[in-house]
């Protein structure tokens, strides 16, 4: 009892001491923020100097503060192979970037995660139709469209020209390819040793040649580019196109020389007035030539034999997808979704000079006065999407061999068409 009394007295004394002491206000520590889960995603982007990502990541984190982005530069052409090798080991990426013509292969290789339908619905309203056609691998017009990637940028070939060799007025007068052919003789007389037109690639590059094929009513893999059973090389429409290329185009761009005898260097050195190129060349050409202009590709006169349509270039797009086996899919989807926002697309244009894939570019600062982008956007109005089926992989080599043989060796066109189809089928069978 005495012990209990002693304890009670001590307790009362303690309370009295506290009551007589100045009230203390301890610091309040809120652990809620530190306890929020932070997810780290690895992002492979083709951004050599990191200029785009340096600005994109802070903008992304302002919206998604709990997603940490581990950016690693990876060439767009290399990402698929690297992901196949390192993906499941944990040393791959949650998000990866690749060009349009790698999409079908990435799907076949089981690398791509199908994005949510609500994101498809959102982007279908805001992203250019031709870019969405590519991103859905041709499924956009079906009952069950599937979004495999987010289009980061959009591109097409167009023409750049050197105003020191050809004026704006002279270029404007070249409305059709017949105009170009006729003017080439005048240009050669007035500019000895110089070329009127060249290409940023070579004259057997079928990415470029599609602009001509399309006017004659032909495109690879059927009317919508999705028939993987054949290419359709033996079409009479393609025969007509190849005859025009050999008989009419070749004499004014290479004469009797080979398909790759005149290329980019002629334009850079002031030896060619015009060049068929794309946005990838703008910065390089501006650094070498002082007085440049741009225009869309000429069309064909209505009475041109075999012509049934307008010139339609291939539309290309850089794609960004979520790795199918990423452990951080939700965060990765947030990242690729952000890439399609006006804020991200503005940063892309400002830092990389790539054309945003948005339908409405009115809020992208600077693009309305960008001559090259405006010309390319005009060209894209009639463009068709690159085929995204896996079988297109075997198209390019067969098509190039066909054109080289015709261009360089005057090989029989119909025979080369048959050989090209056989080559495609053989390559396809070998890969199965």
Res. 11: pLDDT tops 50: no
Going from the N-terminus, what domains does the chain have, and what CATH number goes with each?
39-155+315-385 (3.40.190.10), 158-312+390-431 (3.40.190.10)
**Cα–Cα distance, 391 to 230 (Å, whole number):** 9
Of 139, 145, 44, nearest in space to 91 by CA: 44
pLDDT at 285 (0 to 100):
97
Q: Report residue 369's pLDDT band, with 50, 70 and 90 as the boundaries.
A: very high
> What is residue 127's DSSP assignment?
B
- Measured CA to CA, the distance from residue 94 to residue 131 in angstroms comes to 22
pTM of the shown model: 0.86
Would you state the pLDDT for residue 23? 45
Quote the percentage of the chain above a pLDDT of 90.
80
What does DSSP say about strands 158-162 and 292-295: parallel, antiparallel, or unpaired? antiparallel
Q: Which long-range contacts (CB under 8 A, 24 or more apart) does 248-255 make?
A: 248/177, 248/181, 249/177, 249/181, 249/203, 249/212, 250/203, 250/407, 252/180, 252/181, 252/184, 252/196, 252/197, 253/195, 253/196, 253/197, 253/198, 253/199, 253/203, 254/203, 254/407
Can you give the pLDDT at residue 390? 85
Q: Are 417 and 239 in contact (CB under 8 A)?
A: yes
Quote the tokens at residue 334. Answer: 């947030």
Query: Residue 274 in 3-state DSSP?
Result: strand
- pLDDT tens-place string over residues 373-409: 999 999 999 999 988 888 998 999 999 999 999 999 9
Do the beta carbons of residue 318 and residue 151 sit within 8 Å? yes
Cα separation, 373 vs 376, whole angstroms: 5
| CA 268 – CA 286 distance, rounded (Å) | 10
pLDDT of residue 386: 87
Q: Does the pLDDT value for residue 244 go beyond 90?
A: yes
CA distance linking residue 25 with residue 84, whole number of Å:
58
Determine the average pLDDT of the residues in 41-55: 95
Q: For the chain, give the percent of residues with pLDDT over 70.
A: 92
| Predicted pLDDT at 204 | 97
Whole-angstrom Cα distance, residue 392 to residue 424? 9
Q: Please report which confidence band the pLDDT of residue 35 belongs to, taking 50, 70 and 90 as the band edges.
A: low
User: pLDDT tens, 127-163?
Assistant: 999 999 999 988 888 899 999 999 999 999 999 999 9
What are 282-340's pLDDT values in tens digits? 999 999 999 999 999 999 999 999 999 999 999 999 999 999 999 999 999 999 999 99
3-state secondary structure of 184: helix
Q: Residue 198: pLDDT above 90? A: yes
Q: What is the mean pLDDT of the chain?
A: 91
């Amino acid at each position: 009892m005495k012990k209990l009394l002693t304890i009670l007295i001590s307790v009362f004394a303690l309370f009295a001491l506290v009551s007589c002491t100045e009230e203390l206000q301890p610091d309040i520590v809120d652990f809620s923020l530190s306890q929020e889960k932070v997810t780290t995603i690895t992002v492979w982007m083709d951004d050599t100097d990191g200029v785009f990502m340096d600005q994109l990541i802070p903008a992304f984190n302002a919206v998604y503060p709990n997603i940490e982005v581990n950016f690693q530069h990876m060439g767009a052409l290399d990402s698929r192979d690297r992901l196949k090798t390192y993906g499941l080991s944990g040393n791959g990426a949650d998000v990866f970037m690749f060009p349009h013509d790698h999409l079908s292969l990435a799907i076949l290789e089981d690398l791509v995660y199908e994005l949510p339908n609500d994101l498809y619905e959102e982007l279908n309203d805001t992203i250019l139709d031709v870019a969405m056609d590519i991103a859905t691998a041709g499924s956009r017009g079906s009952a069950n469209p599937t979004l495999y990637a987010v289009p980061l940028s959009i591109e097409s070939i167009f023409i750049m020209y050197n105003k020191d060799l050809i004026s704006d007025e002279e270029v404007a007068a070249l409305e059709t390819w017949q105009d170009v052919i006729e003017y080439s003789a005048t240009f050669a007389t007035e500019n000895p040793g110089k070329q009127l037109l060249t290409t940023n690639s070579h004259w057997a590059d079928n990415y470029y040649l599609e602009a001509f094929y399309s006017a004659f009513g032909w495109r690879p893999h059927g009317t919508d580019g999705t028939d993987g059973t054949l290419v359709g090389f033996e079409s009479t429409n393609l025969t007509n196109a190849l005859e025009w290329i050999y008989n009419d185009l070749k004499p004014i761009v290479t004469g009797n020389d080979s398909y790759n005898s005149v290329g980019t260097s002629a334009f850079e050195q002031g030896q060619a007035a015009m060049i068929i190129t794309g946005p990838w060349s703008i910065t390089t050409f501006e650094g070498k030539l002082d007085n440049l202009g741009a225009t869309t590709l000429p069309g064909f006169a209505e009475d041109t034999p075999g012509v049934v349509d307008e010139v339609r270039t291939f539309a290309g797009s850089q794609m960004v997808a979520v790795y199918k086996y990423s452990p951080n899919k939700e965060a990765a989807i947030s990242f690729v979704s952000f890439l399609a926002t006006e804020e991200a697309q503005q940063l892309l244009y400002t830092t990389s000079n790539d054309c945003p894939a948005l339908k409405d570019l009115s809020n992208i600062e600077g693009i309305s006065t960008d001559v090259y982008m405006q010309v390319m956007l005009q060209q894209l109005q009639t463009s068709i999407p690159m085929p995204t089926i896996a079988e297109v992989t075997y198209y390019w080599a067969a098509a190039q061999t066909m054109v080289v043989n015709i261009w360089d060796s005057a090989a029989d066109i119909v025979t080369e068409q048959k050989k090209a189809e056989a080559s495609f089928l053989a390559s396809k069978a070998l890969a199965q």
